[in-house]
Chain A
Amino acid sequence: MPLARSFDILWEYHRILLDGLAMTFELTLISIVIALITGVTCALGSLARWRVVRWISVVVTEFCRNTPILVLIIWVHYALPEITGIKTSAVVSSIIALVMQSTGYLSEEYRAGIESIDKGQYEASKSLGMTYARLMRRIVLPQAIVRMIPGIINQLVVLFKSTSVVSIIAVPDLMYHANVIVNDTYLAMQTYTVVALTYFLIIFGISVLVRIASRRIRFIGPSHAILQAA
């Protein structure tokens, strides 16, 4: 079969591929939004005064960071329901696993960001009568998050890549649909090339953003300038 003809056939499936891509984006965005919240929770936990809270946060963070995403997804989908008694759909299982992985990484990013804030900021906040919760929310985190922007985007890239393994539990993402199409048409080279290029172009785009963001932070310097520009 001529190459042009094979791409014509593939074109007939483009809606399905787009559906898959939409699912990939959905998984990425939902997971990163949840992970930004669970990440800060874990980071604050790992900085907490109570040893028990600190230990739980560290164990959760390390488990999530040091378990391969494929294993995490299978574990959440097939093992976790036997422990909790709650069965989750493939999409929900995937999001849980992706959130776990990102929580681990983002928690470390948050912790580093929070620890990079000068001790004087805490002292000034306290001397003005702020409670710990208020000084974190109003003074420390807003400064830490600006410094974390490159790290967050980086994690977004990792997350986007990680979503490609959710097809293992039959979540209809881009990679899953690619497999289906190949089974239908035997156009493995064409299909997987298109899918690989799609992943590449999106991730490359995000990476360029990371580089621009990092450069801005390095050149403009203090966080206020970025907030001003934003």
Chain B
Amino acid sequence: MSESGASMIEIRGVRKSFGALEVLKSIDLHVPAGKTIAVIGESGSGKSTLVRCINNLEPIDGGSIRVGPTTILPDRVEEAGKPLSAREVARFRTRIGMVFQNFNLFPHLTVLGNIIEAPVGVLRWPKADAIERADALLRRVGLQDKAAAYPATLSGGQQQRVAIVRALIMEPAIMLFDEPTSALDPKLTDEVLTVIRDLAIRDRTSVIVTHEMGFARNVATDVVVMADGHIAEHGPPDQIFGSPRSSAAQQLLQYAS
């Protein structure tokens, strides 16, 4: 485990069940500020659930997750020992960007509408500022001519780049990615991974759930292998991919080219 640097995210003994199915079985994980953690593992290993717990999209059943000054507990979210209201929990989420497997753009809003909805509506930025910032980010991801388009007219790769911009415009300290390229073909996967590497994880703490082993190896500072609700192995990419010790990691990498 990385001891250098203060932890931005501290996951301690986190448990989570869906009905009788225990998805997370006492997970411990520290994510140092500024690092990029790739979480790999078979489907159903609990990796998606884990990242969704970090911004409290899924409430936890046991343990705690500290994110900066905020602590998520099974029955409440608190800061400095004081429980947060629903509105304050919503505000807490503005500091954490999230990108989903299925993009989840708002189909009734244009690309620009998607991007400025939260900065204007939640953070109360002046609309002109939000538009200016959105245009700059769209240019960075090569979609400057798509501001007025509706999501359904875009390719999957374009939609996911818009979704990344929508999260980044909030200037979050943390970015979470839940299988950001699993719904995309290889060519579109590359264009999205490039944006994640060059723009989205720069100067941020990030956790990326992915099946892209090459990306995990080249971009992550740490790799976590999950299996059956546990962390089977955790270490630098070269160690995990070079000489995996756990059987879960060995099995997983056997199929990865």
> Taking beta carbons and an 8 Å cutoff, which residues of A are in contact with B?
118, 120-121, 123-132, 134, 138-139, 142-143, 146, 221-225, 227-228
Contact (Cβ within 8 A) B90 A131: yes
Whole-angstrom distance from the CB of B59 to the nearest CB of chain A?
A: 12
Q: How far is the CA of A124 from the CA of B151 in the complex (A)?
A: 14
**Residue B104, interface by CB 8 Å:** yes
Please report which residues of chain B, range 86-111, place their CB below 8 angstroms from some CB of chain A when the two chains form the complex.
86-87, 90-94, 96-98, 100, 102, 104-109
Please report which residues of chain B, range 102-130, place their CB below 8 angstroms from some CB of chain A when the two chains form the complex.
102, 104-109, 117-118, 121-123
Given contacts A127-B55, A128-B117, contact A121 B90 (CB under 8 A): no
Whole-angstrom distance from the CB of B225 to the nearest CB of chain A?
A: 25
Contact (Cβ within 8 A) A130 B104: no
Whole-angstrom distance from the CB of B80 to the nearest CB of chain A?
A: 20
Contact (Cβ within 8 A) B104 A121: yes
What 5 A-B pairs have minimum CB-CB distances, sorted nearest first?
A129-B94, A124-B104, A128-B118, A127-B98, A120-B104
Q: How far is the CA of A123 from the CA of B118 in the complex (A)?
A: 13
**Residue B161, interface by CB 8 Å:** no
Q: How far is the CA of A5 from the CA of B244 in the complex (A)?
A: 101
Contact (Cβ within 8 A) A143 B107: yes
A-B contact pairs, 25 of them (CB 8 A): A118-B104, A120-B100, A121-B104, A121-B106, A123-B57, A123-B104, A124-B100, A124-B105, A124-B106, A125-B106, A127-B55, A127-B96, A128-B94, A128-B118, A128-B122, A129-B90, A129-B91, A129-B118, A130-B122, A138-B121, A139-B117, A142-B108, A222-B152, A223-B107, A227-B108
- Residues in A neighbouring B93, C-beta threshold 8 A: 126-129
Contact (Cβ within 8 A) A228 B150: yes
- Residues in B neighbouring A120, C-beta threshold 8 A: 100, 102, 104
Contact (Cβ within 8 A) A224 B122: no
Q: How far is the CA of A138 from the CA of B122 in the complex (A)?
A: 11
Contact (Cβ within 8 A) B166 A128: yes
Q: How far is the CA of A160 from the CA of B90 in the complex (A)?
A: 43
Contact (Cβ within 8 A) A224 B170: no
Q: How far is the CA of A28 from the CA of B29 in the complex (A)?
A: 61
Q: How far is the CA of A132 from the CA of B108 in the complex (A)?
A: 18
**Residue B208, interface by CB 8 Å:** no
Contact (Cβ within 8 A) A127 B86: no
**Residue B167, interface by CB 8 Å:** yes
Additional A-B contact list (16), CB under 8 Å, known A131-B86, A225-B152? A124-B100, A126-B57, A126-B90, A126-B93, A127-B55, A127-B98, A128-B166, A128-B170, A129-B90, A129-B91, A129-B170, A130-B90, A131-B87, A221-B152, A223-B107, A224-B109
Which partner residue on chain A sits nearest B55 by CB separation?
Answer: A127
Q: How far is the CA of A221 from the CA of B150 in the complex (A)?
A: 13
Contact (Cβ within 8 A) A130 B118: yes
Given contacts A127-B98, A128-B94, A129-B123, contact A224 B87 (CB under 8 A): no
- Residues in A neighbouring B107, C-beta threshold 8 A: 143, 222-224
Which partner residue on chain A sits nearest B91 by CB separation?
Answer: A129
Q: How far is the CA of A34 from the CA of B86 in the complex (A)?
A: 30
Q: How far is the CA of A143 from the CA of B105 in the complex (A)?
A: 12
Please report which residues of chain B, range 55-98, place their CB below 8 angstroms from some CB of chain A when the two chains form the complex.
55, 57, 86-87, 90-94, 96-98
- Residues in A neighbouring B117, C-beta threshold 8 A: 128, 138-139
- Residues in A neighbouring B96, C-beta threshold 8 A: 127
Contact (Cβ within 8 A) A127 B57: yes
Contact (Cβ within 8 A) A123 B100: yes
Contact (Cβ within 8 A) B121 A143: no
Q: How far is the CA of A2 from the CA of B121 in the complex (A)?
A: 70
Whole-angstrom distance from the CB of B129 to the nearest CB of chain A?
A: 17
Contact (Cβ within 8 A) A224 B86: no
Q: How far is the CA of A143 from the CA of B118 in the complex (A)?
A: 17
Which partner residue on chain A sits nearest B176 by CB separation?
Answer: A127
Whole-angstrom distance from the CB of A23 to the nearest CB of chain B?
A: 37
- Which of A118, A124, A228: most chain B Cβ within 10 A? A124
Q: How far is the CA of A13 from the CA of B55 in the complex (A)?
A: 70
Whole-angstrom distance from the CB of A199 to the nearest CB of chain B?
A: 36
- Residues in B neighbouring A138, C-beta threshold 8 A: 117, 121
Q: How far is the CA of A142 from the CA of B21 in the complex (A)?
A: 35
Contact (Cβ within 8 A) B118 A224: no
Q: How far is the CA of A209 from the CA of B104 in the complex (A)?
A: 32
Q: How far is the CA of A16 from the CA of B236 in the complex (A)?
A: 87
- Residues in B neighbouring A128, C-beta threshold 8 A: 93-94, 117-118, 122, 166-167, 170
- Residues in A neighbouring B163, C-beta threshold 8 A: 124
